Amino acid sequence: MAALVSGVFLYFFLVFLAPHTLCRTLIQKDHTNSTVETLFFDSLKNLQGHRKGDKVEGLYQVKQYLNHYGYLNTLEQNNDEFDDELESAIKTYQLNHNLDTTGIMDSSTLSKMMMPRCGVPDIINGTNTMYRGTNPFNASLYKILPGDRKWLETLLLYKYVKGFPTERIDSVDQALVIWSKKTQFQFFRLADNIVTQGPDISIGYFSGAHGDGFPFDGPGGVFAHAFGPADGRIHFDADEAWTDGASPNMIDIVSVAVHEIGHALGLGHTSVEDAIMYPYMHYDIIRRTLHQDDLDGIKALYGS
Same-domain pairing of 191 and 52 = no
CB of 16 within 8 A of CB of 175? no
CB of 230 within 8 A of CB of 198? no
Same-domain pairing of 233 and 282 = yes
Same-domain pairing of 224 and 282 = yes
**Could you report the per-residue pLDDT of 97-116, keeping only the tens digit for each?**
999 999 999 999 999 999 99
When divided into structural domains, the chain yields a total of 2
Q: What is the CATH number for 176?
A: 3.40.390.10
The response to whether 100 counts as a known ligand-binding position is no
Does 260 participate in catalysis according to the annotation? yes
What are the phi and psi torsion angles at 159 (to 5°)?
-155, 145
**Could you report the per-residue pLDDT of 136-177, keeping only the tens digit for each?**
444 566 778 888 889 999 899 999 999 999 999 999 999 999
Q: What is the pLDDT of residue 194?
A: 80
Angle CA 160–164–167, to nearest 5: 110
Q: How many residues does the chain have?
A: 304
Helix (H) / strand (E) containing 117: strand 117-118
The response to whether 118 counts as a known ligand-binding position is yes
Q: What is the pLDDT of residue 129?
A: 81
Say yes or no to pLDDT of 121 above 80. Answer: yes
pTM of the model: 0.85
How far is Cα 288 from Cα 283, in angstroms, rounded to an integer?
14
Same-domain pairing of 276 and 153 = yes
The response to whether 237 counts as a known ligand-binding position is yes
Domain range for 163 is 10-26+142-302
Amino acid at the residue 70: G
Catalytic residue among 37, 87, 260, 273: 260
Same-domain pairing of 67 and 193 = no
Contacting residues for 168 by C-beta, under 8 A, at least 6 apart: 205, 236, 242, 244, 253
* Pairing assessment for the beta strands 10-15 and 186-190 based on DSSP bridges: antiparallel
pLDDT band at 197 (very low <50, low <70, confident <90, very high): confident
- Do the domain assignments include residue 130? no
**Could you report the per-residue pLDDT of 226-257, keeping only the tens digit for each?**
999 999 999 999 999 999 999 999 999 999 99
pLDDT band at 130 (very low <50, low <70, confident <90, very high): confident
The response to whether 200 counts as a known ligand-binding position is yes
Domain C-terminal end among 98, 116, 134 = 116
